[in-house]
Structures are given as structure tokens and as C-alpha cells.
Chains A and B, each alone.
Chain A
Amino acid sequence: MYGWEMLSFNIHDGFLEAIVRGNRSGLLTASDYNNLCQCENLDDVKMHLTATEYGPYLQNEPSPLHTTTIVEKCTLKLVDEYKHMLCQATEPLSTFLQYITYGHMIDNVVLIVTGTLHERDVNELLEKCHPLGMFDSIASLAVAQNMRELYRLVLVDTPLAPYFSECITSEDLDDMNIEIMRNTLYKAYLEDFYKFCQKLGGATAEIMCDLLSFEADRRAVNITINSIGTELTRDDRRKLYSNFGLLYPYGHEELAVCEDVDQVRGAMEKYPPYQSIFAKISYGESQMLDKAFYEEEVRRLCLSFEQQFHYAVFFAYIRLREQEIRNLMWISECVAQNQKNRVHDSVVFMF
């Protein structure tokens, strides 16, 4: 199949690819970020953003702005664009686009379940949910008491249902097993997405599998680092790693037994693509790891635009927009809290 997509790709997906590439050119550039970093207050940020593609979304906001408003409006733009693309998409692109949102769905489910566990108000929690991961009955998650109910009542209707097969227990929900549930779901989701992309074949499979492998490996590292010092056993930890990616299977064996950050580093440095990431970080440090991974991800996502006739651009675009929104949130927070010296800590430039 490889190489032949260009014969037929444009019949169904040419329009949307053009749309997504057009949207991509609306992403903020390094000079935009430089300007944003010099802002004195949130009004300046707004003023600068109104000159970009975010203009129509921000121009009608009254003046005492909050970071949340900016982030909310920027997310709204992403959601609008996503919905537009989803409306226009035909199979299998529409399934592919839906796959992209399952990750948000998992996050939302976990957010609501944890929230209810701590007796937060459901409406308040709903506001915090990512709009891309919303589904109809999401609010009824609050009714469920344990995983079995969670599945039987709500999730059976959602696309997440098949991923649940591994974590149905009658145990009552608590923080620990919610976290395990999140990671099991995520694992199942990534594996399913991976299989789906392989089924699509061609350049989509090639690029997406690369991107998803990176995602899986990053999650493996994060799970390892976050579970150091918790009561999670090695076997349980091992079970949370996705069964693909560069680290699978030998890297996983090594990660499963790691006891501190430097051991993780040792395990990861055996893999050339990840050497550069760890080379940026000094020993014993895990704070900057996130940023290093994000930078690597952005680099890979940007590269996917270099090739034509494949679906990975949609995935890449939505991921890049999300990264951009994260950047904007960080910048606005720094500006609002007057900590401009920390602005560059977490901003990942794209172009």
C-alpha cells in the first residue's frame, strides 16, 4: 500500500488535509512567543493574541481578564476546529479523529471519579473537563460507587467500554486504584489506537506508529518515576506499560525494577533516540524531564507535516494546538503572577 495513497487520498481527505495545513500555519511562532513573553499584564497578552488567529475568540472579552478565560477561549477555538473537521470527515478519517479524543475522555472520567470521591460538586468538575473528551452521560459518573457500576452504568455506552475489560473489579474506588485504572485504560487505548493505525497502513501507519511509540515510552517513563516510592509492586508497574514502543519489551523489564530517577536514566540512555533528551538534564533531576519530552514530541509532531497524504497531520495539529494552549497558560500565569523570569521554564517553541 505504501506510496499509493497519493492516487486516492485526495478523493476523501484532500480537503481536510488542506484545512489542517491551513490551520497549522495559524500556530504561534517563536516571534509571537517572544512578544508574548515581554507582556506586562494580561491585557497585553490579549492585545497580542487578538492580532493572531485567536482574535475573534478573545476580542469580546471585557477587560479584567483571567488566565482561565484566555485558556478557555483558546481551547474553544481548538474545539471548534476539531468539530468542523469531524463534521467534514469520512471514514476512516472520522474514526481516526475520534480516536484522538479518547485520551481526553479517559482523563475526564478519572477527573470526575476522583472529584466525586473527594465530594466535589459535579458541575464544578464538569467545567474543568476538557471539552474534547466530553460525552453525553459524563455527569452520571458521579452516581457510580465502584468500577463495576462505573462500567455498567455509564462507560458501556462510550467508546472506552472495550478498554475497561481489564480493570473491572468490585473494589470500592480509591485514589490508588483510580490511578491504576487511568493507566490501564490509557494502555489499552494506546494499544488499540496503535493497532488501528497499523490497519490503516501506508504513511499514516509509519508516522503514527512512531508518534504513538514515543507516547507509550514517555508514559512508561512517567509511570516509573511517579510510582517510585509508592506501594505499587514491580509486577503491577510492569502491567501498566503499553505493549509496543521502542522500550518494549526489554526496556520495560529494566524500568520495572528501577528504584530511583538515575536508574531510569540508566535504562533509557541505552536507547539512542532518548539519549538526547536525558543529555539535557542533570543527574537526579526529574522536573525538567517533562519539558524535554514535550520538546521532543513537538519536534516529531512538526516533522509529520513534512510528508503528505497521511492522517498523522491531524493528530499532530491537535497535539500542537494543545501544546500551544499549555504554553499560553504558562505565559499568562507567569505574567499574571509577575514571575516573568520563569516564563521560559515551560514554554516549548514550535516554529
Chain B
Amino acid sequence: MGVFDRLPPVDHLRSEKMCFVQLIMPAESARLAVTYLGELGLLQFKDLNEDKSPFQRIFVNQVKRCTEMSRKLRFFSDQINKAGVNSSVRPVLQPDIDWEELEAKLGEHEHDLLEMNTNSEKLLQTYNELLEFKLVLSKAGGILASSHDPVAPADRELDEHIYNKEVDDGIAYLLEEGVHLGATKNSGVKFVSGIILKSKALAFERMLFRATRGNMFFNHAPAGEPVTDPISGEEVEKTVFVVFFSGDQAKSKILKICDSFGATCYPVPEEMVKQRHIFHEVSLRLSDLEVTLNAGIQHRNKALESVGSQLWRWTIMVKKEKAVYDTLNMLNFDVTKKCLVGEGWCPIFAISQIKDVLQCATLRSNSQAGIIFHEMDPIDSPPTYFRTDKFTNAFQEIVDAYGIARYEEVNPAVYSVITFPFLFAVMFGDWGHGICLLLGAFVLILREKKLSSQKLGSFMEMAFGGRYVILLMALFSIYCGLIYNEFFSVPFHIFGKSAYECREKACSDAHTAGLIKVRDPYPFGVDPSWRGSRSELPFLNSLKMKMSILMGVSQMNLGIVLSYFDAKFHGNALDIRYQFMPQMIFLNSLFGYLSLLILIKWCTGSQADLYHVMIYMFLDPAGDLGENQLFWGQKELQVSNLLNNKNNMLHYLLCLLANNYSPFPLSDTPVAYGHCSCSMDALPKAFYLEETSQGEVPRAHLSLPWDVRNGSRF
């Protein structure tokens, strides 16, 4: 124990020291103070109104206004996206605007935009209807022409009458009327023409057939191009149809069916002359409308552009404002109703910064009374806060994914900065692949500034967030790749010549008798001659497997040693005696011993079978080791290991039972237990998994899964 006691304290591994503070802020400076604190991001407020629902809190109206404003902003960005306006222009420095001003401004813009939209919507609808009409005219005209009959004068008159009326009232008449019954004389056959969604055309025809009991003729032609639907405003595929029928009853039925299927009917005169005339008329009107529409759209786009250039800034502003009020909602009024009282956690190093900021807020808001800031005795245990930078942040997040350390618990992220990428490289090791990864990491790091201000896809975001992890992984895999001597799985003679050569020039017996060693061993990594040889797989497997065991065991030892520092820091002698010690003994008497055997085997070049040794250590501890004897006293060591193990188990079990009746916190027991099992079943995995790098951290009861960064919502 003495050795451990003399070790330096591992302060750099622990989370920041926190203190519980109370703030008493005059109502007039509270908002500003919270804004500044938010920008500082070093104070986590505690929710003092947990029992109140969101709309019963003090600043509910402001929060509502903020959500309303963000709704408007979403509306703007939606409109901008729809219109395809390019708004990436960064604003020339605009004067800072007030919150109230912004609210008024947003309302104004929204109102303007809505008005413009309704105006252009009406126009657009007419425009699209006319477009459809034009389509129907050309297509239905074609259908009609193919079945043309001489038209009786009476009908011509009727048509002319309608036609004149159209001219009088303008095209709008056509659209309101919607339906015009063409009449193909003689037989009393009439027709309705219109346009319908392509997907509905079949059902429509079937329905018409049923409703008229087959007494109709349905003719249709695809519109060819996608048409913008006048009502929904979406681009859809449509079909132009002409239905021939006879009788008035059928007519009313057909019109009803048209209505119910959303088919729009347009009148088409039978004669080519009139058709052409109307066609011309419609085209004219279309071009008129186009001009008006374009002017409207340009006007609107201009408005959107001016909004768009500010949108980003406004969004940030509203978001901040909402966060400020959400935070203010966590505070309480004091008895006089003049001050807001807040409680929260902050790291001790930040106290002076917070005080400065509060001072500043008081000055800026011209408040008579200053903000009172003092420390209190905490009731709960403090939250965990690790200071990270852009390099360590990704590692901390990986560790956090497994569980967040308790307050002042040893932080495994510090070691995982190296162990995580290294263990990755042990598996990935290939310096060709490593170089590719390295290039990728460099691209991400060099474009850091640009990328961090951009919105990335979910996958890119992950890669970008872990760019330094990738960098280290790349470097380590190049290193490991050199050791494995693999460049895209091909070995290279980088560090000189191979130590092995054929027995003769012809190399005829290379695959039977094998090679012979002619030089010193290959200076670095695996000899390239192993590549393609019959014994490649057994050799490399054995090498990598044993290496993995060594690394896994040292990794686990590191984890357990960390738990010792932790227990010592918290003055928990029980943990040291009944958790750390048994774990240490258990791990090292089995797998530590295995590692020792491996090392000795490597150093001496012995042929001993380690499986055999390990298995017979349990089955026949007193038996003779025979040729598997690696060092003097091995048998005695094995027996003592075994006894240690057995005692250890009993000891463990007993203290597990005893702990249930002990005055010490019971929650430690499952940790101890879980830990032991963890090191036992983790070992098979340790060959290839880096999981153990996190597995060794006590993580069973992390009751405070929040830290200062997330807590204050900035």
C-alpha cells in the first residue's frame, strides 16, 4: 500500500470543483444578467419551479412571444426556401435592434408577405387554370376533330351566344362557368371536356360507365407535360378527357361525378375556328398574367431577400431570448416580489468571471441595487463538469456515451485520448488505409473553420465532431500497420531485407522444407517473408492474439488502478480492501499470470503450450508440467494463484453478504460485483475489442447525467 500512497494525486483526472451558489437579482437587471451568464455558459441554474407547469411560470408570456416569433421566422425560411431566393449574403453591419422592435418588425414582414401571397395566389390560380384550359383546348380539340360532324345552325347560334358572352365578360367568365356543354348535333349527343388527375382517370371512367349504365363514350389524351394543379399548387400528371353522352339526367350525374373526382371541366367549342379564336384569346390573357405574376414574384423575392439577409441573426436572437426566459422561469420571486432568486452550480474557478459579468449587468441596466452572489451549502451532490477543448471534447463524448462520471470521480477520457485510437489501430492496422484516413482527417481539420459554421448532414457531423479522434486513429493505424507490415494488405521491404531466404537458388523446396534464417531479424515489425507462406496465418494469429491479451490485461489493470485512486480520494477504505484488492488479485492471478507466460515464451523462444498450462492449472494443479515448464517455481506459483483465486472468491462473496448489513452505502456493492464479472467476460473480447477501454471505469451508479455545459441550455 505504501507505494501507492506516495504517488502524486491525480487531480487532472477529476472533474472541476463545483460550488452551490445563490443569486439574488433585482427584477430590472435579471434579464441582462442571465443573458450575460448564458454567454459565459459557466453556471447551471437549478429549476426552482419544478412543480409548476410551463404556463404557470413567471415569464410565460415572454416565452409565448418568443415561440410566436420563432414560428414567424420558420415561416420566413420556409417561404425563402420555396421561392428559392439566395439569401446567403452576409448582412452589412446593421444596427442592433431591440427585442420589441424585432417583434414588431417580424409581425410587419409576416403581414406583408401573407398579403403578397394571397394576391399572387389568386393570380397564380387563374394562371394555372388558364394553362389547363389551353391544354384542354388543344387536346380535346384534337379528339373532337377526329369525330367531326357538320354542326346545325341552332347549335352554332348557341355556341356563338356563349362565345360572345365570353368575350364580353372576359375569360374569367369561362372559369366561373366552368362547364360548357358541347353538342354534337343530330344524335343529340352532348359532351363535357375537362382535365383530371392521371391517377384518378381510370376510376373516373369506371364510375362514369356505371352511373350512365354504359351510355357514354370516354375519350382521353395524356396532358404530356406535368401540370400545376390550380388548387393545391403542386405539379401533377393530368389527363385531358372528353365524355360524350346523351340526355339531361346523365349530364347532371356526370357533372356531379366530375365534381367529386376533382376533375375541372372547361368548355370547348366544336368548330375549329372558334377553338382557334379562344385559344388565341387564352394565350393573350396568359401572357398578360405572366407579366403581372412576374412583377409580383419579383417584388416578393425582394422582400424575402431583405428578410433572408437578416434571418440568421434574428433566429439566433430569438433563440437566445427564449433561452433567457426559459432560464428566468427557473427562478423564484422573493418575498418582496422585487427580486428574483436563483440557485445553481458553478465551477469554483469561474466565480470571479461570474462576478465580473454580474457587475457588468448591473451597470448596464442602471440598476440601483447590485446583484447578490454568494455560496451556499449544497443539498444534493454537485454535477460533473469537465473542461474540454476541441481536441478532447470528442473523447469526452465517447466516454459520456457509456456513462458520465460522478462528481470528482476519475475521468477515463484522459487515458482514452490515447488508448481509444490505439486500440482501434490494433484492429485496423494497415498503413495504406491509415494514410487514407489521415488525409480525410486532415481535410476535416484544415477546413475546420469553414465546416464548423456550416450545417452538416448527420453522418458528416459525426465525422467532423470526431476529427481529432480520426486523426489519432489514422496516426496509430499507420504505426500499427508498419508493425504488421501491411500496406493495403501487401507487405513491403521498408526496413531492409528479410531475414529469411530459400535454401537454394531454385527455391523448389520453399513450400515443403521452408526457408532458412540468414540475417539478423527484420528490424521493425513483421518480416515480409511471412506473407503468402503456409505458416502465415498461425504465426500472425498467435502474434496478434497474444499481443491483444497483453494489451487487454494492461488496460484492465489500468482501470482497476484508477478505481483505487478514486476510492483513496474519497477516503473509502472499504472499497480499497474489498473491491480493489480482490479485483487486482483475481485479474492478475489468472490473466496477469497468462501475460507473464506469454512474455517469458516470447523472450525464451520456448515451445510450451500455454493453453495446456492454463487449463491444467485448474484441472491438475499438482501435476507435473513436463515440457511446458517455463521457469523455476512455476508449479508453486500456479498453486498459490489458484488458492488466491479461491480465497478471493470466498472473500468477495462474504463481503458482498456482509455489505448488505454494513453501515456503508449499499450502492457500492453492485459496482464491485459488476466489476468482477466485467473483467472475467471481457477477456475473450479483449482480443479484438477496444470496448474494455471504457469497461474498466466504475459506471454503475452515475446518478447525475448532466453537466454544466448542457444544463444551462446555451
Which chain A residues have a beta carbon within 8 Å of chain B's beta carbons?
Answer: 35, 38-40, 43-44, 47-48, 50-51, 59-63, 122, 136-143, 152-154, 157
Contacts and interface: CB of A to CB of B under 8 A. Distances in A.
Given A59-B71, A122-B259, A153-B210, A136 B55 contact: no
Given A59-B67, A63-B68, A139 B261 contact: yes
Contact of B260 (A38, A51, A139): A139
Contacts of B207: 137, 140, 153-154
A140 B53 contact: no
A66 B212 CA distance: 43
A136 B207 CA distance: 11
Interface of B: 53-56, 60, 63-64, 67-68, 71, 74-75, 200, 203, 206-207, 210-211, 253, 256-257, 259-262
B617 to A, nearest CB: 43
A139 B75 CA distance: 33
B64 A43 contact: yes
Contacts of A48: 53-55
A61 B259 CA distance: 30
17 contacts: A40-B55, A43-B64, A47-B54, A47-B55, A47-B63, A48-B55, A51-B54, A60-B74, A122-B259, A136-B203, A139-B261, A140-B256, A140-B260, A141-B260, A143-B256, A153-B210, A154-B207
B387 to A, nearest CB: 32
A61 to B, nearest CB: 8
Nearest to B71: A60
Contacts of B54: 47-48, 51
Nearest to B72: A62
B64 A38 contact: no
A104 B685 CA distance: 55
Contacts of A40: 55
Contacts of A157: 203, 206
Contacts of A50: 67
A61 B67 CA distance: 11
Contact of B261 (A44, A47, A59, A140): A140
Given A38-B55, A47-B55, A140-B211, 9 more contacts: A47-B60, A59-B71, A63-B68, A122-B259, A136-B203, A137-B260, A138-B260, A140-B207, A143-B257
A35 to B, nearest CB: 4
Nearest to A34: B53
Nearest to B257: A140
Residue from B203, B207, B259, B260 whose CB has the most chain A CB atoms within 10 Å: B260
Nearest to A126: B260
Contacts of B253: 143
B78 to A, nearest CB: 8
A238 B361 CA distance: 79
A68 B259 CA distance: 25
Contacts of B200: 136
Residue from B63, B210, B261 whose CB has the most chain A CB atoms within 10 Å: B210
Contacts of A138: 260
A59 B74 CA distance: 10
B71 A62 contact: yes
Contacts of A61: 71
Contacts of B75: 60
Nearest to B78: A60
B630 to A, nearest CB: 51
Contacts of A51: 54
B79 to A, nearest CB: 12
A44 B56 CA distance: 9
A334 to B, nearest CB: 16
A161 to B, nearest CB: 13
A140 B253 CA distance: 9
A141 B56 CA distance: 49
Contact of B64 (A47, A60, A143, A154): A47
Contacts of B210: 152-153
Given A139-B261, A140-B207, A38 B71 contact: no
Contacts of B55: 38-40, 44, 47-48
Nearest to B253: A143
